Amino acid sequence: MLDNVQSVKFFLPELILTGAILVLIVYHVVTGKKKSLFAGYLTVVSVGAAMLIAGGIGSGGARDLFFGMVRIDEFSTFFKVIFSLATIFAAFMSIASSEVNGRRQTEYYVFLLSVTLGMYLLASATDLVMVYLSLELVSIPSYLLAGYLKRADDSVEGAVKYVVYGATASGIMIYGFSLLYGLTGTTSVAEIGRIVASGVSPLTLTVAFILVGVGFGYKIAAVPFHMWSPDVYEGAPTPVTAFLSVGPKAAGFAVLIRFFYAVFAQRVEGGQWALFEGVDWVTVFAVLSAVTMTVGNLVAIVQRNVKRLLAYSSIAHAGYMLMGFVLLNVEGLRAILFYLVVYLFMNTGAFLVVVLIANQIGSEDIEDYSGMGIRSPFLSVCMGIFLFALTGIPPFSGFIGKVYLFAGVIHSGLYWLAVIGVLNSVVSLYYYARILKVMFLEKPKSEEELPVGIYAKAFLAVLAFPTLLLGIYWEPIIRAAEASARLLGG
C-alpha cells in the first residue's frame, strides 16, 4: 500500500485528464471562443495518452494507491481502455455532429473529460468514499451533457429526469454505504468484505445490499431503475447518447463487479452468493437479468425514433451482461468484459450512422430512413453490420459475445435464463431488421444522394472492422478479459 507521494507516479493517466480539463477551462476564459476544433482534438490526444500510459502502468502488477483508496490492476486497466475508446469515439462524433457544432464546444469537452476522469477513478475505487465521489464525478457532468441542447425541450426534459432519478439513486446508495460503515467501522471495501465474512447482522446487511444495489442498478440502467434512460438518450445530442450508453454503463459494471466481489461474495471462484442463508441471490439476479432484457426488447419494438429504439436496446444489452454477473465467477466475468468490448464498437457504430444521416436529413425517425440503401449504400451497409452484430447473428462479434454469456449460464445450470436470452435475441432481430427493411426495401422519399466525407467513412471503417474481426478472431481479447477476471477473482 503506497502513501500519497509514492502514489503520484502511478496516477499519471488521471493527472493527464485533470490537466487537459484545466487547459480547456483556461483556454475558454482567455480566448472566449465558442467554436473551436482545438477542444475536440485536445480531448482526443489527452485521452489517448492517458490510455497508453494506463496500459503500461496496469501491466506492471497490482498496486494500492493513496493508502488503499484506489487500486491499479489489470481489471481497472481493462475498463480504462474501454472508457478511453468510448470518449475518443464520442469526441470524433462530436466534431462531425451538427448538434454540437456552433455551440459552446469548450464547455462540452470539459464535461466529457470530467466524466472520463470519474470513470477512471470509479474502475479503481476500493473505498466507499472514493466510490461515491467517483460516481458523482461521472453523474454531474453527464447531467450537463444530457441537457446540452438547452433550447430543445426534449433535451431539457431528459436532463431534468436524469438529475432527479440520479439524485434519488445516489441518496439511496449512500444510505446503504452508511449502513455498511455502521456495521463494520471502516470504509475500505476489502476490509468490509473480511468483516462481513466473519459474521454481522443479516437483516441490516441485506438492507445495505439492496440500497447499494439500487444505486448501481441505476447506473447500468437495469429494470426497474431504467426509467431515465429513454428520455435522456433521445433528448441528448447523439454523440452524448452513444457515449452514455457505453462509457458510464461500463463504469457501472466495473464498480458493481469490484464492490460485490469484495463485500458480498465469500467464495468468488465457486460463484456463490454468501450474503446470508435463506435467500437465493443467484435466482434474484437471474430474474433481474431476464426482466431487464425482456422489457428493453419488448418496448423497443414499438419505437419510431431510432435513438429511442437504441436506448431501449441498450437496456436489453444491460440485461444480457447481467447474465455474466449472476454467475459471480471468472467465466461470467470474462463474458461481461468481452461483451463490453464488442458492444463498444457495434453500439457506437450504429449511433455514428444516426449522426451522419441526421446531419443530412435532419430527422431520426425510422420512416425517414426509407430508401437509404439507394441514397447512401455505404452508410446502409455499415448500419446493417452494426445492427446484425447487436442482434447476435454470426459471423459478427455480438454473436461471440452472447455465446460466452449463454454458455456461462448453461454451465451453471441456469438453462431457463439461457432460453430467455435466446428468445430475447430473436425479438431484437425483429426491430433491428425493421430499420434495415426501411433502408433497403422501401422507396426513397428523395432521389438525392447523401454524401459521406472521407473522414466519416474512415471512422465508420474503424468501428466496422473490429465488429467483423472479433466475430472471427477473438482470442486476444478473450485472453485479456480472462486475465483481468482471474486477477479480481483469484
Task: Specify whether the CB–CB gap between 243 and 298 falls below 8 A.
Answer: no
C-alpha 11/C-alpha 69 separation (Å) is: 12
For 260, other C-beta atoms within 10 Å of its C-beta total 23
pLDDT for 140 equals 93
Taking the chain (490 residues) in consecutive chunks of 10 residues, what is each chunk's mean pLDDT? 72 93 90 78 94 83 79 89 95 82 80 95 91 92 87 82 90 92 87 78 82 88 84 88 91 87 54 49 86 94 91 93 86 92 94 89 87 89 94 92 93 92 94 92 82 89 94 91 73
* Residues 341/321/220/97 CA torsion (nearest 10 deg): 40
Position 332 in a domain: yes
- The predicted-structure confidence for 115-161, as pLDDT tens digits, reads as follows 999 999 999 998 899 999 999 999 999 999 988 887 777 888 888 98
Position 478 in a domain: yes
Residues 149-168 as b or e (16 or more Cβ within 10 Å = b): beeeeebebbbbbbbebbee
pLDDT for 459 equals 92
3-state class (DSSP) for residue 125:
strand
Position 473 in a domain: yes
Position 110 in a domain: no
Task: Specify whether the CB–CB gap between 63 and 10 falls below 8 A.
Answer: yes
Task: Specify whether the CB–CB gap between 350 and 328 falls below 8 A.
Answer: no
* Residues 444/445/447/450 CA torsion (nearest 10 deg): -80
Q: Is the pTM of this model over 0.75?
A: yes
Find the domain containing 359 and state its range.
Answer: 273-490
Position 345 in a domain: yes
pLDDT for 266 equals 47
Query: Which helix (H) or strand (E) element contains residue 65?
Result: strand 63-65
- Residue 231 has, within 13 A of its CA and on its CB side, a CA count of 19
pLDDT for 45 equals 95
Position 440 in a domain: yes
Task: Specify whether the CB–CB gap between 483 and 75 falls below 8 A.
Answer: no
C-alpha 46/C-alpha 299 separation (Å) is: 39
- The predicted-structure confidence for 161-180, as pLDDT tens digits, reads as follows 899 999 999 999 999 999 98
CA distances (Å), origin 281, targets 267, 288, 362, 377, 477? 14, 10, 47, 48, 30
* Residues 205/211/213/219 CA torsion (nearest 10 deg): -150
Task: Specify whether the CB–CB gap between 37 and 109 falls below 8 A.
Answer: no
Query: What is the count of structural domains for the chain?
Result: 1
- The full 3-state SS of 193-238, as one line of letters, equals HHHHHHCCCHHHHHHHHHHHHHHHHHHHCCCCCCCCHHHHHHHCCH
* Residue with grid cell 441526421, as numbered in its chain: 358
Query: Which helix (H) or strand (E) element contains residue 400?
Result: helix 397-411
For 34, other C-beta atoms within 10 Å of its C-beta total 12
pLDDT for 36 equals 72
pLDDT for 347 equals 94
CA distances (Å), origin 450, targets 176, 349, 371, 380? 52, 18, 11, 11
- The predicted-structure confidence for 342-378, as pLDDT tens digits, reads as follows 999 999 999 999 989 988 888 888 998 888 888 889 9
Position 23 in a domain: no
Closest CA to 232 of 292, 299, 295, 165: 165
C-alpha 33/C-alpha 105 separation (Å) is: 9
Position 465 in a domain: yes
Closest CA to 68 of 183, 173, 186: 186
- The predicted-structure confidence for 254-280, as pLDDT tens digits, reads as follows 988 888 777 665 444 433 444 444 566
